[in-house]
Amino acid sequence: MQIGIPKETGQHEKRVALVPESVKKLISNNIKVLIESKAGTDSNFSDTDYEKAGAQISESSVKVYSESDLIVKIDKPTSNEVSLIKDGAILLALLQPTTNIELIKQLKDTGVTSFSLDAIPRIARAQRMDVLSSQSSIAGYKAAIIAADNLSVHFPMMMTAAGTMPPARGLVVGAGVAGLQAIATGRRLGALMSAYDVRPAVKEQVESLGATFIDESTAERDNTETSGGYARAQSEEEQNQTQALLESAVKNSNFVITTAQIPGKPAPTLITKAMVEAMKPGSVIVDLAAESGGNCELTLFDQIVIHSEVKILGPANLPSTMPQHASQMYSRNVASFIDLIVDKDDTDPLTLDLEDSIINESLITHKKEVVHPVTLEAINNA
């Protein structure tokens, strides 16, 4: 069996799906690896590194796609790339299937068996394969660094001959993996951190990092998260309650990092234009939900907006701004998933156990059918 690693072609993408460390382990299990030349260059992994690990290097992306039994990517493939994948091959990537319907239809029609790594269930057995968590942790870390770099005041308290400067106050909205890492990084840099999340269950995690949890005692809510551990979509009334609760916290913060996203749906608007206008001049908002519409009403994806002397950043693909570590983490996640779906001792190593919950819930297309119920529903409703 041969695994193919094409060079990523996305505008903001500098990561590579498998690093030499993982390639070496795969090859030790009698798996061949073919990688497109310079696929790892932006992540500081050279062709020589891959050759030393035992991989074959190809100058042709066409060869990587057309001669591999299993294609591993980060970003979803283009229509042209899908057309190059041979019938019956397996594709692993972040497909975001409910919002990329035409891509899923093409994968189905071309006979590609596709897995969307963002659909891996958040269960204990799948933690080592959880690419969303590994990449979100990098995004949260980098968001705090960006806030510190753009803020007009120090993060830590500074005691100098010129007087004592108080610490910056930071607010994180959404205490998932990215939010918790942003809290931890902000605290390490010396800021006073607080956090809000619609899920009361995360309060203990927030406080364990030394941050203050903004309590929502005035609004009792049930079933605040999905079975996958994500916050569910709020009703209009709940969203209004959230905005009212955040109004004072945002006003009193020097910087705000927002991370609230709902898989397959636009990000909820939690910070209004009026709330931005009430912030101190020189304050900063880093909106990690920018790609899906933003948590701040004024956010523009991959742009910096200055409104009322408040800087609002909507960064693109933060994990890719730290491509070496991001690639290493993604690669380890993917290698663990490959271990699950490939039986190196079987005569047909790509025989899939469809009874396995991890395989079943992340499998999108198989045998020229869309087999993922949520994706199928999205296609039927389009």
Burial class (CB in 10 A: 0-12, 13-18, 19+), 30: exposed
Return the amino acid letter for 228: G
Let me know: does 273 contact 303? Beta carbons within 8 Å: no
Task: Please list, residue by residue across 353-371, b when 16 or more beta carbons sit within 10 angstroms of its beta carbon and e when fewer do.
Answer: eeeeebbebbbbbbeeebb
* Distance separating alpha carbons of residues 146 and 301, to the nearest angstrom: 15
From CA 331, how far away is CA 253, in angstroms rounded? 37
Closest to 271 measured CA to CA, from 251, 152, 176, 203: 251
- Which residues carry out catalysis? 122, 127, 130, 133, 230
Between CA 311 and CA 285 the distance in angstroms is 6
Q: Compute the distance between CA of residue 344 and CA of residue 30 in angstroms, rounded to an integer.
A: 7
Which amino acid, residue 108? K
Using CA atoms in the order 327, 39, 99, 197, what is the torsion angle rounded to 10 degrees?
Answer: 20
